[in-house]
Structure 1
């Protein structure tokens, strides 16, 4: 039996009409999902305002409404609670409803533009290999120890987060690693969670369709570190100038990692090959199957986090050497014709540049590097010409194609990408809207020892076109097409 007043604990309340001592059955922010004796939280979204669905929620059986503005007509027998920010209230209520599950495990959040999924997933992998029960909340999947669930958002809504954390409690999970997106922070999805640590990877151009300016995007990320308690640790990449900004107001214990500048955790790349990296981490050498400079940062962050969470240094080095690449993150294979195909999630200018520079640092330059990529629709348009320029400067040949056009016309997206191509690089670029045909063309153009990079979608197994999702897996597609060409 749960009382409304118990799940409102620590919520800042402006006004109450009705009785908070009533028994409630569940919380929801979607009026369609309300059950008898439920609590409806009216959230103002970017598209839909939950206040417009208060009456519908009451008809569905809501006995309590949490809102930012009291309705004009109050229904007798329903309790109304007015708060400043309904999304923040929902997060605290969700934590209370599930009996603060984040307190019962060691939760670490990973934020930044690039590297979140890789770091969170590999930390999950490392701690599992060390013999612990571990949880993961990531873009790719959610893991409750060994049980896998499909992920729908980088940072799920606060009810979903706390429900999974509660499941983790039930099976004895000790550590949980969680991607923390700027959307999730801005929409208060992480409010009420007890973090033992926070990791900052880097900051580059992304999500400016949602955040008005780069400074706003940076400051939202900073909010996550501002709220960490003094018992937590804050680990930041000090090679990124925004790393120090993340640490400015945090109460947490401060730690840095870097390849180029002074830091608490330092890495040096000794060897960089397609088979992996030989790194010097502080004063110890370690071989990892992960590839490229950007993964040297990821490995360093993982190494530092494992140490900060109490694992013994020698054990951490052994576990790092066993790590396997994450689905859709520099995932590659070499065909029988000796053509290397690489699939990567790179969907920002910085990520695409990192991947291409990594490939160029490994290859001999005798091979052709063919890049296939596009940009998503209904998202940040400013990055499109930038990515067109980066791809054509750093590749031998480029095929522009559709990513997830969503509600936009794919040809319009491609035209914006093409605007970034400098005149001397026009001959390098080809545009094929159909993604499968674009990948097939790359396979047909490739000769033995050439490299094909397919960027932008990585782990995604679908294309979203005009509100519909169609099955499409870059890795499976390129593998199938290269096998066909070899027959």
Structure 2
């Protein structure tokens, strides 16, 4: 494609060479550059693409886009732009023929609930007869085809490529998780959303955003680029989002007056049922995943789909068709006669841990045992908070390792311990052994919640990443305990 076409609608200055040339592909990783490519220098979280200009040129880059002054420019076309991240997003959209404009894109952001909500909407939209794409933490989907996901929201170039693949496969709707990182780093820049959902805002990612206000500001970006804003008005930040967002606004709630509201909620171990009111319509929903917070996820998903003109009958059927979301309040012992349940959940924030433990408590007839840790190289201020929550809401807490990354696992555990006020916990650093001990201690009618990793099938240690799928681990432990 001609470079001028790739840069249509983008302001730039030619520093060297000319902009009338053919480009093979766009790259932002110098290691991927091949002969005839355009290399866009991105200032990343860990490194800066401007350092690799010569490497890109030596690999065959035909043109280079930078956003700051560089000495000793290579002998190829060099362009200067104000913000190379925004340019990467816009150039990617141009290169792939504006695929997002051919889709109805529904975005969801918030600290918790994004993954479950996208799966709920996918089920509703498919029940309505649409072919649906999904972009998220667990995986990306093009209809029924699963595509591996390496981060919650892909880099803008990969995202535009994924949109193109969806368009080519006849996808009509794309539902996607939109992380605060992706909003701040302009990965979704230029995309116009049909619906944008705000779930909640609690402590997370302060290692990246530094302040809670920055975290909020990043989330708010989504609601400046959508036709409809759908807001959880029960969340303390919901009113701010409602006030600060643009376009048409729809509220959802359990406790406050709202456009769509749930009541008569009845929770049980395998799900929750509730009534929902929207305008003059009332429906009774039987959800196959438990938890009051999943009622909230359902309300936001319903509001988005109702806003797209889908009938309440189809919305109800779509929600009730969904059996579970991998690693989200997933009961992994359904096929075993243990006398107790083991639940795997992705909860890795204070609010997430509190939600899953309060939910499990609702249907725990015996003791509630929790197994959790905190990730390394991430916001360490939440560690004592999670220690306090885990011990207070459990009869027994087993503190263990999560993804320690470059940190010492026991140092992380010691920080968790500083928040614990009760003498109802034990420490077992090895995560597998911690899960096994919890299951050895479990008796009839108990519930064991293993929190933090959910759908993940790996554990990141200091020097390596190992395979670690908690469903497999629990199945192995069941066999060991039967001997």
Say yes or no: TM over 0.5: yes
Q: Which residue of 2 aligns with 1:242?
A: 237
Q: Could you report, residue by residue, the CA deviation over 1:234-284 in whole angstroms, capped at 9, with x for unpaired residues? A: 101011121232233433211111111111111114311112111111122
Q: Which residue of 2 aligns with 1:92?
A: 90
Q: Structure 1: which 5+ residue stretches go unaligned? A: none
Picking from 439, 442, 447, the partner of 2:443 is: 447
Q: Could you report, residue by residue, the CA deviation over 1:426-461 in whole angstroms, capped at 9, with x for unpaired residues? A: 2x1100000000011011111111110000000000
Q: Which residue of 2 aligns with 1:398?
A: 397
Distance 1:46 1:238 in 2: 33
Asked if residue 459 in structure 1 is aligned to residue 455 in structure 2, the reply is yes
Kindly indicate whether the alpha-carbon contact (under 8 Å) linking 1:115 and 1:201 is maintained by their aligned counterparts in 2.
yes
Shift of 1:323: 1.5
Shift of 1:185: 0.6
Q: Which residue of 2 aligns with 1:57?
A: 56
Kindly indicate whether the alpha-carbon contact (under 8 Å) linking 2:126 and 2:318 is maintained by their aligned counterparts in 1.
no
Asked if residue 411 in structure 1 is aligned to residue 410 in structure 2, the reply is yes
Kindly indicate whether the alpha-carbon contact (under 8 Å) linking 1:337 and 1:486 is maintained by their aligned counterparts in 2.
no
Q: Which residue of 2 aligns with 1:344?
A: 345
Q: Which residue of 2 aligns with 1:353?
A: 354
SS at match of 2:265: strand
Q: Could you report, residue by residue, the CA deviation over 1:173-192 in whole angstroms, capped at 9, with x for unpaired residues? A: 00010110011111110012
Distance 2:73 2:436 in 1: 61
Distance 1:481 1:352 in 2: 24
Distance 1:269 1:376 in 2: 37
Shift of 1:476: 2.1
Q: Could you report, residue by residue, the CA deviation over 1:22-65 in whole angstroms, capped at 9, with x for unpaired residues? A: 11011011111011111101111121111010011011111111
Kindly indicate whether the alpha-carbon contact (under 8 Å) linking 1:399 and 1:430 is maintained by their aligned counterparts in 2.
yes
Q: Which residue of 1 aligns with 2:21?
A: 22
Distance 1:358 1:12 in 2: 51
Shift of 1:411: 0.6
Kindly indicate whether the alpha-carbon contact (under 8 Å) linking 1:136 and 1:144 is maintained by their aligned counterparts in 2.
yes
Q: Which residue of 1 aligns with 2:120?
A: 122
Asked if residue 470 in structure 1 is aligned to residue 458 in structure 2, the reply is no
Kindly indicate whether the alpha-carbon contact (under 8 Å) linking 1:138 and 1:178 is maintained by their aligned counterparts in 2.
yes
Q: Which residue of 1 aligns with 2:326?
A: 327
272-281 vs 340-349, which deviates more?
A: 272-281
Kindly indicate whether the alpha-carbon contact (under 8 Å) linking 2:275 and 2:285 is maintained by their aligned counterparts in 1.
yes
Residues 104-183 of structure 1 aligned to structure 2 (within 5 Å): 104-183=102-181
SS at match of 2:194: strand
Distance 1:20 1:248 in 2: 44
10-19 vs 202-211, which deviates more?
A: 10-19
Kindly indicate whether the alpha-carbon contact (under 8 Å) linking 1:121 and 1:138 is maintained by their aligned counterparts in 2.
no
Q: Could you report, residue by residue, the CA deviation over 1:318-344 in whole angstroms, capped at 9, with x for unpaired residues? A: 221211210000000343121110000
Kindly indicate whether the alpha-carbon contact (under 8 Å) linking 1:397 and 1:429 is maintained by their aligned counterparts in 2.
yes
Q: Structure 2: which 5+ residue stretches go unaligned? A: none
Asked if residue 255 in structure 1 is aligned to residue 250 in structure 2, the reply is yes
Q: Which residue of 1 aligns with 2:431?
A: 435
Kindly indicate whether the alpha-carbon contact (under 8 Å) linking 1:14 and 1:84 is maintained by their aligned counterparts in 2.
no
Distance 1:150 1:255 in 2: 33
Distance 2:200 2:99 in 1: 29
Paired residues, what number?
A: 477
313-322 vs 43-52, which deviates more?
A: 313-322
327-336 vs 87-96, which deviates more?
A: 327-336
Aligned-residue CA RMSD (Å):
1.3
